[in-house]
Structures are given as C-alpha cells and as structure tokens.
Amino acid sequence: MSWISETKYRWYETLAMNIIRCGRVPRHIAFIMDGNRRFAKSEHIPKIDGHSKGFEKLAECLRWCLDAGIQEVTTFAFSIENFKRTEDEVNGLLDLAKEKFEKLLAEEDKLKQHGVRIRVIGNISLLPLELQQVIARAMICTEKNDKLFLNIALSYTSHDEMTQAVEAVLRHGSDTLESEDINERLLDECMYTRQSPAPDLLFRTSGESRISDFLMWQLSTTVLYFTRVLWPQITIWNFLASILTYQRASHHLDNFKEQNCRDEKHLIKTSSCFTDRVQSFLYRLDMYRREFLLKLSKVK
Ligand code: FPP
Ligand code: MG
C-alpha cells in the first residue's frame, strides 16, 4: 500500500470536492486516527490488521488532502503512552511503521512528483534504532519537496514536546541566552513543530472528544471536529464535513486571531525576542538537530 493512494472519484464526489474548494480550505489539518482496534474487533481480524487498515485510510486521506489543496497534514501515529500497550501490539505497530517508511524510501520518485515532504515529530530516541535510521533517511530524502508537508507524530506527546523544548534551551542556550530572551516565541521555535504553522483544523475519529496530549501547545485557535466513525471507516464525506465545519467556524476565528497577533507583537516588543543571542542559539539548535538526523541516516 502506497503512501498516497490512487483514488478514483465518482462524479458527485468530484462535484462536492469542487464546491468545498470554492470556500476557504484549511492550510494545515491534524488527524487523531482513533478506533483501529475497535474496527479490528468488529471485523474479527487481529489488532495489527486494524492498524494496517488505519494506514491504508491515511493514504486515502492524504489523497483527499492533496486534491482539496491542503498544504500540511500532521497525524498522530504513536503516542509515548502507547508504549504501555502489550509488547506484541507495540512491536507490531513499530514494525508496521518501519515497513511503511521503507516503502516510502522505495517510492521516493512518486513523493517527489507530488512534492510530499515527510517530517517525523516526537522523541525518536525512544524508538528502536533501525526505525530511527529509516525515519532519518525518509526525512532527509524528501527534504527538498515543498507541496504537501506530512508530519507524523511518532513517540510523541505534548508534555514531552514542551519538556524537550525547555531541555533544548538549557542544554544549547546556557552560554548564549539571557533570562530576558526566554519567552513564548523562543519556546515555540524549540518545539518539534517549529517549521509549521498551527493546525487550522483537528479531526478526531471514534467518538472520543479529547485531545489526548496531542499538539496542546499549538491548538489554541484550531477548529476541532469530532466524529463517531472509527478511523478505518471514514469516507470522503466525513472529510468534507470537517472542512465545511472549518469554513463555518473560520469567519469568527479571524477576529480572534487578529487580536492574538496584536498580543503576540506586544509580547515580542517587551521581551526583545530574536536578538542576536536568540538567533545564534536557534541556528545552533537547528544545526544540532540536522547533524543528529544526518548521522542517523548514514549508520549502516
Ligand atoms: C489508535 O487506535 C491508533 C493508533 C494507536 C495507531 C495509529 C497508527 C496507524 C494508523 C499506522 C500509521 C503508521 C504510519 C507509519 C504513519 P487505537 O489503537 O487506540 O484503537 P481503539 O481506540 O479502538 O482502541
Ligand atoms: Mg484509541
């Protein structure tokens, strides 16, 4: 199963997609793909097959996103909390991820053709070394693509992301930064998501209306969409319904975001963010993270 599925739309699906595209489409959408095991149970198949079906649905969903004109997708594939599941399930999920990243490397040309850049966000040092390596290779080999950014949250929680951001400031900034440099903008630049705008829309399946420690730093102005449908069962109609919900809500959000932006400007002015000290710290942090990936990608 490829990362971007070849979907053939029925005429009325194309019509609905075109109508939705006349309105404002989210620039960035985030997915919590929940309900794979309940789906597996209902179909009397092993749990891991439920997760495989979940991956197939992700590939279909990426095709809808590309065709709808969405530029960035962030999806929750494995939480740090998921390490507490049975050994069999954890190993099964991590093996599935490795298999899919290997497949991705074999599909480099197709991803280039669609302009898909892969970024894994999360504490990847908690993953098996072989998986870390294949992730690093996938990130490096797609880094020049710039049409659809696909961020996969693997070994991720927001609590960990925020903790790592503070750790980065202490570890790499102790000799450059002053206490007045520490502010929201600086921490934002230290998050795993530092290269992305905040999601405009969060889509969660399976009837749970929780955030589950996902992108909690980033979701303050995001429109939330919950559906009872299990992830492997969502259809293009659920997807389009979520975009419609965003279109209805985004009008009110504009005023709110404008206010937020004014507040942020005030914050920056009073805290002298992005001084030369901050810039040299951020440069050093970027270099460190890139070196880490390069080294990993070259390990035989
Ligand atoms: C949540 O359903 C789903 C997961 C924990 C795993 C999601 C992973 C995939 C869809 C595979 C993606 C792989 C890559 C490489 C992107 P659940 O297990 O919590 O099911 P339940 O809510 O019914 O118990
Ligand atoms: Mg679940």
Per-residue pLDDT tens digits for 50-90: 999 999 999 999 999 999 999 999 999 999 999 999 999 99
Measured in angstroms, how far is the CA atom of residue 229 from the centroid of ligand 2? 12
Q: Are 280 and 176 in contact (CB under 8 A)?
A: yes
Dihedrals phi, psi of 117, to nearest 5 degrees: -105, 130
Does 270 have pLDDT greater than 50? no
Give nearest CA residue, ligand 1 atom 1.
34
Kindly report, residue by residue over 79-135, the tens digit of the pLDDT.
999 999 999 999 999 999 999 999 999 989 988 998 999 999 999 999 999 999 999
Q: Which ligand is nearest to the CA of 62?
A: 1
Beta carbon of 122 within 6 Å of any ligand 1 atom? no
Measured in angstroms, how far is the CA atom of residue 35 from the centroid of ligand 2? 5
- Average the pLDDT over 239-245 and give the result: 98
Instruction: For ligand 1, pick from 43, 51, 60, 227 the residue to mutate: most ligand atoms within 8 Å of CB.
Output: 51
Q: Tell me, what's the pLDDT at 261?
A: 62
Measured in angstroms, how far is the CA atom of residue 115 from the centroid of ligand 1? 25
46, 132, 292 from 295: Cα distances, Å:
37, 11, 5
Q: Tell me, what's the pLDDT at 275?
A: 85
Provide the sign of the torsion angle of the four alpha carbons 160, 165, 166, 172, taken in this order. positive
- Average the pLDDT over 155-170 and give the result: 97
Q: Tell me, what's the pLDDT at 239?
A: 98
CA atoms within 13 A on the CB side of 37: 7
Phi and psi based region of residue 290 (left: phi greater than 0; alpha: psi -120 to 50; beta: remaining): alpha
236/227 Cα distance (integer angstroms): 13
Q: Mean pLDDT, the chain, as a whole number?
A: 93
- Average the pLDDT over 285-294 and give the result: 94
Q: Tell me, what's the pLDDT at 17?
A: 98
* Ligand 1 atom with the shortest distance to the CA of 38: 23
List the one residue out of 166, 100, 157, 108 whose CA is nearest residue 131: 100
- Average the pLDDT over 140-162 and give the result: 96
Does 269 have pLDDT greater than 50? no
Using pLDDT thresholds of 50, 70 and 90, give the confidence band for residue 264: low
Q: Tell me, what's the pLDDT at 64?
A: 96
Does 300 have pLDDT greater than 80? no
Provide the sign of the torsion angle of the four alpha carbons 19, 202, 235, 77, taken in this order. positive
Measured in angstroms, how far is the CA atom of residue 77 from the centroid of ligand 1? 6
Q: Tell me, what's the pLDDT at 143?
A: 94
Q: How many CB atoms lie within 10 A of CB 120?
A: 24
Instruction: For ligand 1, pick from 2, 5, 31, 33 the residue to mutate: most ligand atoms within 8 Å of CB.
Output: 33
Structure-token pair, residue 4: 């971007």
- Average the pLDDT over 12-32 and give the result: 98
Q: Tell me the pTM.
A: 0.93
121, 142, 300 from 3: Cα distances, Å:
18, 13, 25
Give nearest CA residue, ligand 1 atom 14.
97
Does 251 have pLDDT greater than 90? no
Of the listed ranges 183-187, 217-221, 256-260, the least confidently predicted one is 256-260
* Ligand 1 atom with the shortest distance to the CA of 75: 16
| Residue matched to tokens 């705008």 | 197
Candidate CATH numbers 3.40.109.10, 3.40.1180.10, 3.20.20.140, 3.40.190.10; the one for domain 21-298: 3.40.1180.10
Of the listed ranges 52-61, 191-200, 241-250, 267-276, the least confidently predicted one is 267-276
149/164 Cα distance (integer angstroms): 23
Q: Tell me, what's the pLDDT at 183?
A: 93
User: Between 174 and 53, whose confidence is greater?
Assistant: 53
Q: Give the residue extent of every domain in the chain.
A: 21-298
4/63 Cα distance (integer angstroms): 6
Does 266 have pLDDT greater than 90? no
- Average the pLDDT over 220-238 and give the result: 97
Q: Which residues are catalytic?
A: 34, 51, 148
